[in-house]
Amino acid sequence: MEDTYNNRRNTTVNGESRIQYIPQEDVRYPARLRVLPGMPKGIYVLGRLPDDNRPSVAIVGARSSSAYGDGTARLFAGELAKAGVQIISGMAWGIDGKAHEGALERGGDTYAVLGSGVDVCYPAGHRRLYEKIPKNGGVLSEQPPGMPPKPGHFPARNRIISGLADLVLVVEARERSGSLITADLALEQGKDVFAVPGRLDDELSRGCLNLLKQGAGLADRPETILECLGICPELKAEEVNEKKILLAKDENIVYSLIRLQPVRLEELTENTGFSVQKMMTVLVGLQLKGCIREVQKNYYVRTNSRIIDGEVFSDCGVTCEGKDH
């Protein structure tokens, strides 16, 4: 494997194993899996299983993701988790890990399906994430405890990731990507597949662009996913001719530095002291709210907006009020 792994930690309390084995005939076995062919005879779980009565979305993508992809994954996962959606992924580097983090940051539930035993943390660098997930969801696998990660386990675990989800969202993917296997499995299982568009010249966008050409749903904002799940996004104050969108404190800081002339990413990070990762998360949020747009790679401008008494009025009738959440 490309990375090291840790095993047999965080799995016992007072000498008793915290790992449960849920056979297919058990009433606790996930209903979403029970109705699909080729599912495992049983599931090992550290923590708890997803709730059959709540919506769930799988968020998958590239391991070698970009800052844009990381920010997008965190944003979508956070907004969906805030609305009560369970987030499913594979705890891999890149998009998977950021999706789990985004859900946890918003107090949501998230579930990691591993290609190893549930007592094996892979990759080892995700130890802190691995420790957190069972407290707010669960770590799942069809592999027995102690089983190390093996290449053949990962395509197989993808069928569980898609099977546990009502919808699969692909954030970034190369033209040949394991995430596309998950998307294909989801389609075979009758699930909806959505993809986040990216730049035409970015290799990390090729997989998503191909999915869109093949008819995948366009994931332009978290509300699109919520609407597909039948969840009505919470409406803002009187929605007559305009809606009000609140800017978080960090978004307000960054927005104040962006004008109608393009501003470079490096300039924004220098003026705010934010890391590139944090800055990309903030910029993605502002783009999805319609307050700014990227005119070329890493150059940003405001939309046709103006500030009046601390509120941002955009050309689409959206009001962004500068308050912290």
Whether residues 150 and 293 share a domain: the answer is no
**Where residue 87 falls among pLDDT bands split at 50, 70, 90?**
very high
Choose between 18 and 20: higher pLDDT.
20
Query: Is residue 223 domain-resident?
Result: yes
In a domain, 1, yes or no: no
- In a domain, residue 234? The reply is no
Establish if 43 belongs to a structural domain.
yes
Q: What is the pTM of this model?
A: 0.73
Number of domains in the chain: 2
- Domain holding 305, by residue range, is 243-322
Distance CA 75, CA 223 (A): 11
Residue where a domain stops, chosen among 180, 204, 228: 228
Residues 314 and 255 in one domain: yes
Q: Between 321 and 221, whose confidence is greater?
A: 221
Residue 236 domain flag: no
Regarding whether 162 and 282 lie in a shared domain, the answer is no
Average pLDDT over the chain reads 85
More confident residue, 46 or 12: 46
Reported confidence tier of residue 297, pLDDT bands at 50, 70, 90:
confident
- Chosen domain end from 195, 228, 261: 228
The residue that leads in pLDDT, 248 or 4, is 248
Instruction: Identify the CA nearest to 221 among candidates 191, 248, 193, 196.
Output: 196
Same-domain status, 42 and 187: yes
* Residue 44 placed within a domain: yes
Classify residue 84 as left (phi > 0), alpha (psi -120 to 50) or beta: left
In sequence order, which residues have a C-beta less than 8 Å from that of residue 244 and are 6 or more positions away?
A: 236, 237, 311, 318, 319, 320, 321
Instruction: Indicate the residue among 168, 199, 228 that finishes a domain.
Output: 228
Which residues are paired to 320 by β-bridges?
A: 245, 312
From residue 231, alpha-carbon distances to 61, 218, 239 in Å are 24, 17, 18
For residues 151 and 210, membership in a common domain is answered with yes
The pLDDT value given to residue 217? 94
Identify the three-state secondary structure at position 20: strand
pLDDT digits (tens, 9 = 90+) for 190-229: 999 999 998 888 888 899 999 999 999 999 999 999 999 9
Above 90 in pLDDT, residue 85? yes
3-state secondary structure 241-261: CCEEEEECHHHHHHHHHCCCC
* One domain, residues 176 and 273: no
Q: Are residues 155 and 198 in the same domain?
A: yes
Q: Is 133 found in the same domain as 172? A: yes
Q: At what angle do helices 265-272 and 276-288 cross, to 10 degrees?
A: 110
Same structural domain for residues 86 and 116?
Answer: yes
**Are 179 and 279 within one domain?**
no
Judge if 250 and 224 occupy the same domain: no
| Of 263, 234, 240, 252, the residue nearest 312 (C-alpha) | 252
pLDDT at 168 over 80: yes
Q: Residue 283: which CATH number?
A: 1.10.10.10
- Between helix 249-257 and helix 265-272 the angle, nearest 10°, is 120
Residue-wise pLDDT for 139-161, tens only, equals 999 999 999 999 889 989 999 99
Q: Is residue 167 part of a domain?
A: yes
Does 238 fall in a domain? no
CATH number, domain of 97, equals 3.40.50.450
Say which DSSP state 123 is in: S
Residue 240 has pLDDT above 60, yes or no: no
My answer on whether 224 and 255 are in the same domain is: no
